[in-house]
Structure 1
Amino acid sequence: MTHNTSTLTIITERNQPLTASIYTPTGKGHDDIKDAIMIAPATGIKRLFYKSFASYLASQGFGVITYDNEGIGDSLTCPLPKCDASLISWGRHDATAVLEALQDEFPNANYHLVGHSAGGQLIGLMPNYQALSSVVNVACSSGRIKNMDMPFKAQAMVFMDGAITLGNLLLGYTPSDKFDMGEPLPRGVAKQWRDWCNGKGYIKTAFGKTVFTHYYDEFAAPSLWLNFTDDDIANAKNVDDMLAVFTAMPAEKRMMTPQQFGLKHIGHMKFFSSKTHAKAPELWQMATDWIQAHSK
């Protein structure tokens, strides 16, 4: 099954425009789609990164939306130092507006979320979370630096405590791209990223301080967590650290090795690679099997 792709502009409650892509299976009207999927991106990762995975999902009959968070890719609409986006606004406003857009595009569907790293961390900020029938989180964890192993732990400390602090001070933003950490980040996003990764439970460190309303204790959609042993960030301790914040979420954890699939490396990013899919199609099949099993 082939698919069609279109571009959509979404306006958030902050009156910020987000650029999104809609993937629709060829031969199906939007009203005919049974299951629609929102792909929530990792920190500083553009929606284009998920194009192959989104195309695959559409080829399997799903409606799909991908998007750039405020301040990233095509959703950067002002000089980056003037962008006041934060991780909180990405979860509370961006993800919320994108799910509403998915509902508008495919009005008769069940709705699911595939979260990559931060895309899965922030879903407890979405006031419309109850619309989700299921979640698949990939490479998602608290990212707590204390739980990382050397030498990656040292690299993370240099980036988090050095590059973010100096970049924000000198440039008004964090040049994450210079450290192979995604797109340049709005200073508010980077600061919260640093603060939360230096504490226990990621966003939990902000509860009662900068986060006063959240749904982490109520989010009860069934979830599948796909993680890999060669991921320096989302290791087993950090997966459990993040899961502990979702106190009501039923979760199935799968910690896998690349070698199980005849691969040398998957890590934090390569689950979504078309090359990975060509060699190990069963990985993407895990996601579609889960979503189909939780279609109402």
Structure 2
Amino acid sequence: MDKTISSDIKIKCADGEYIAATIHSPTSHIKGAILIAPATGIKRQFYANFSNYLSSNGYGVIRFDNRGIAESLVGDINNSKVSLQCWGEQDMPAVLTQLQKSFPNTNYHLIGHSAGGQLVGLMHNALELSSIFNFASSSGQLNNMSSSYRLKANIFMNLFIPLSNVLFGHTKSQWIGMGEPLPKNVAKQWRDWCNGQGYVKVAFGKTVNHHLYDKISLPSLWVNSTDDEIANDANVKDMLSVFGQLNANAKTLTFNANDYGLDEIGHMKFFSKKSKVLWPHALEWLEQQSSNTAKK
């Protein structure tokens, strides 16, 4: 395994906003470069061990905090105008541009976690990617969840979020183990999209007037786990239905924690160091796609 060098940077987005990020550089030949796009409200430190693993295997990596989250939060969260949509339209494209500057003349891949994979079609430069590997990325449609979990999800989405926004000016998602505090517009859009079919598709022709969901045809692997109540098979299928050309050739993979000697994987644990037995699946995908890109 290669030695890696990591450093914290600030990335300037097209609208002038800055977001906090960490770049991981292998010390030997670069096989490719990876944008790790986080789940809703999850700070970049969560992906540190996984990023080191990829970098030690020859890949440049950038992980980041979406605006309004952790070190990318500027000022009072109650004054934040951030939305889910601007994460896909502003933050993710800026990180990909930085990835290309930091690691020129190679191939570029997205590893998306939940929202990080859902929002790829909002990136104006998404077609510059070579492949997509998503974990727990689905539409999160409430109606497709099991009846027992659907009740919990409805309470969070349709009671906790609006009540918290009214009482506190933002969503205190950290109170129930759902990551960092969320700017109110992020939480509201998250709620609206999960209450409909196709997640971001709910906003097509409303707030989303330009996107690439119908144009992306990249090789993609969509991974979930049997113990994930959110990104279940039905919701992965629902999310894939939003894509046009990509949908026909997308591959899926479902983990069972027992097969790997793990207690759980769920919606979050793929990126945990305790689940590193799963990480070769991502590396194998990257090796295959990097090789295919080099042959073109």
TM-score by length of 1: 0.96
Q: Which residue of 2 aligns with 1:260?
A: 259
Structure 2 counterpart of 1:290, which letter?
W
What are the superposed Cα offsets for residues 231-253 of structure 1, whole Å, 9 maximum, x if unpaired? 01000110000000011112100
Could you tell me which amino acid in structure 1 is paired with residue 268 of structure 2? Answer: M
How far apart, in 1, do the equivalents of 2:7 and 2:263 lie? 35
Give a deviation string over 1:227-278, Cα, whole Å, max 9, x none. Answer: 100001000110000000011112100122111112121000000000111x
Equivalent residue number for residue 268 of structure 2: 269
Bigger shift: 105-114 or 164-173? Answer: 164-173
**Amino acid in structure 2 at the alignment position of 1:23:** H
Q: Which deviations, in whole Å up to 9, do the C-alpha atoms of 1:137-193 show, x marking residues without a partner?
A: 001100001111132211111110111101111211100001111100011110000
Read off the aligned partner of 1:48 and give its amino acid letter.
Q
Instruction: Map 1:68-79; keep pairs closer than 5 Å.
Output: 68-79=65-76
3-state secondary structure, aligned to 1:203? helix
Shift in Å at residue 131 of structure 1?
Answer: 1.0
**2:285 equivalent in structure 1:** 290
| 2:193 maps to which of 188, 193, 196 | 196
Which residue number corresponds to residue 230 of structure 1? 227
Post-superposition CA distance 1:112-134 (Å, at most 9, x none): 00000000000000010111000
Residue segments in structure 1 that go unaligned for 5+ positions in a row: none
**Residue 121 (structure 1) aligned with residue 122 (structure 2):** no
User: Would the aligned equivalents of 1:33 and 1:108 in 2 still touch at CA under 8 Å?
Assistant: no
TM-score, normalised with respect to structure 2:
0.96
Matches within 5 A, 1:71-110: 71-110=68-107
Contact in 2 for aligned 1:172/1:187 (Cα 8 Å): yes
Q: 1 CA distance for matches of 2:60 and 2:185?
A: 32
Distance 2:189 2:267 in 1: 20
Listed one character per residue, the Cα deviations across residues 185-233 of structure 1 (whole Å, up to 9, x for unaligned) are 0111100000000000001011011111110000111001111000010
Amino acid in the other structure paired with 2:259: Q
Q: 1:184 & 1:264 partners in 2: Cα distance? A: 28
Q: Report runs of 4+ in structure 1 exceeding 6 Å deviation.
A: none
Letter of the 1:9 counterpart? K
Count of matched residue positions in the alignment of Structure 1 and Structure 2 = 288
Q: Which runs of 5+ in 2 are unaligned?
A: none
Q: Match of 1:18?
A: 19
Counterpart CA distance in 2 for 1:231 and 1:113 is 21
CA RMSD of aligned residues (A): 0.9
